[in-house]
Structure 1
Amino acid sequence: MTPYHHGNLRNQVLATAAELVAAAGPDALSLRDLARRAGVSHAAPTYHFKDRRGLFTALATQGFDLLAAALSAGEAGGRLDAAAGTYVGFAITHPGYYAVMFRLDLVHDTDAAFRAARRHVFDLLAARIDAGIPPTREAGRAATSEAVWSLVHGIAALTLAEALGTPDPVALARSTALRLVGTYGP
């Protein structure tokens, strides 16, 4: 394939990077191999992202933006159990993004766009979790919120590592999040 420049180069490189990271992990990614697989010149990724950290920062930022959109859509926009399921479902369907989103050792964590996208997801999650905590659990709200996020993040990570034996990790996240906050309804 002859490398060429096209109008959607940045997104093409990011999509290819997400595929490569999903298949082999972030440590296996090289900018030269990424360029070859994306069908662009070997300098193209460097032009857009400067280095691997810049690429991973852009990939993580895009991942947070995609997760925010999923958490804002439909049922996940207002229900704790749906948001928990959406979070795990996102990790399963977007493993290349998810693999770099929480790896501060891979990204420029001072990047303004990255920080804003990450903060937006955390704010959405906190709002969904907060809304799902019954008034009787008011005293432990902060700890409960962190426990729910840890729970769904753990289910996602264990599922991706193929270490969780459940056939339906999304359903597990939904039901367990509700159990953790002490409610079984919306």
Structure 2
Amino acid sequence: MTPAPPNLKPPEAPPKPYHHGDLRTALLTAAEAELADRGIEGFSLRQVAKRAGVSHAAPAHHFGDARGLLTALAAEGFRQFLAAQAAREGVADDDPASQLVAAGMGYIDFAMARPTLFRLLWQSNRPDFDSHDLGPAAHAAYQHLIDQVMAAGGRSTADEAAVWAMAHGLADLLAAGRMKTVSSMEPAARDAILAQIMRRALPPT
């Protein structure tokens, strides 16, 4: 039986006014909520500051400009993306094939729970992927998938691409609400179907 997915919903935006605590985290939380409401085109530091209940200068002080904030949000997003995969892997069987399927299920979990952040990671050119924080975070996320494919018997670029295309395709379709026959299922039944599909992309043994 496929284990239940972890709770990956984004934290609630901080209450207003903001008085103390981790301002950086509060701004990142507000930025994700702002993206969900206004999209990348309507994103602004001023609105993020308003949502977080801080001065208009606070986001610029921490992140420089809107691109800096989106870059920091994407870097944190990739770390949470890996954490979602680790959560699935931690309760899956230890054999390489099961671990690879679990990584794919974590990929899907993240996309369904955090669609706005998922799109920022994979569909936007606004973040600076050459930054010292985002670049390594993005590379680590991709390298984890490659390592899992190799452990499961993958030997070629085609093996890597097949697994990535399957996991990402399912995640993207489900996050966009395009697979209602699957997403409307009870979680256990949905996970069983998705795991079966993921296994079809495993490297030949």
Shorter-chain TM-score range: 0.7 to 0.9
Report what 1:86 is aligned to: 106
> Matches of 1:180 and 1:162 in 2, distance apart?
22
> Matches of 2:107 and 2:115 in 1, distance apart?
12
Structure 1 residues 170 and 15: alpha-carbon distance in aligned structure 2, compared to 1, 3 A threshold: farther
Structure 1 residues 146 and 2: alpha-carbon distance in aligned structure 2, compared to 1, 3 A threshold: closer
> Matches of 1:97 and 1:176 in 2, distance apart?
24
Residue type of the alignment partner of 1:75 = V
Is residue 27 from structure 1 mapped to residue 41 from structure 2 by the alignment?
A: yes
48, 54, 73: which one aligns with 1:40: 54
Percent of aligned pairs with the same amino acid: 35
Q: How many angstroms does 1:21 deviate by?
A: 1.9
Pairing of 1:26-105 with structure 2 (within 5 A): 26-73=40-87, 74-75=90-91, 79-103=99-123, 105=125
Structure 1 outlier segments of 4+, above 6 Å: none
> Matches of 1:124 and 1:44 in 2, distance apart?
35
12, 23, 39: which one aligns with 2:26: 12
Is residue 174 from structure 1 mapped to residue 195 from structure 2 by the alignment?
A: yes
Three-state SS of the structure 2 residue aligned to 1:166 is: helix
Greater helix proportion: 1
118, 121, 128: which one aligns with 2:138: 118
Q: How many angstroms does 1:4 deviate by?
A: 4.8
Q: How many angstroms does 1:3 deviate by?
A: 5.3
Report what 1:147 is aligned to: 162
Q: How many angstroms does 1:63 deviate by?
A: 0.5
Residue type of the alignment partner of 2:91 = E
CA contact (8 A) 1:18 1:59 kept: yes
CA contact (8 A) 2:152 2:202 kept: yes
> Matches of 1:44 and 1:167 in 2, distance apart?
43
CA contact (8 A) 2:85 2:105 kept: no
Residue type of the alignment partner of 2:21 = G
Give the aligned length: 179
Three-state SS of the structure 2 residue aligned to 1:27 is: coil
Structure 1 residues 54 and 112: alpha-carbon distance in aligned structure 2, compared to 1, 3 A threshold: same
For structure 2, the 5+ residue unaligned runs are 1-14, 184-189
> Matches of 1:170 and 1:56 in 2, distance apart?
31
> Matches of 1:5 and 1:44 in 2, distance apart?
12
Residue type of the alignment partner of 2:62 = H
Q: TM-score, normalised by structure 2?
A: 0.76
Is residue 132 from structure 1 mapped to residue 148 from structure 2 by the alignment?
A: no
CA contact (8 A) 1:57 1:114 kept: yes
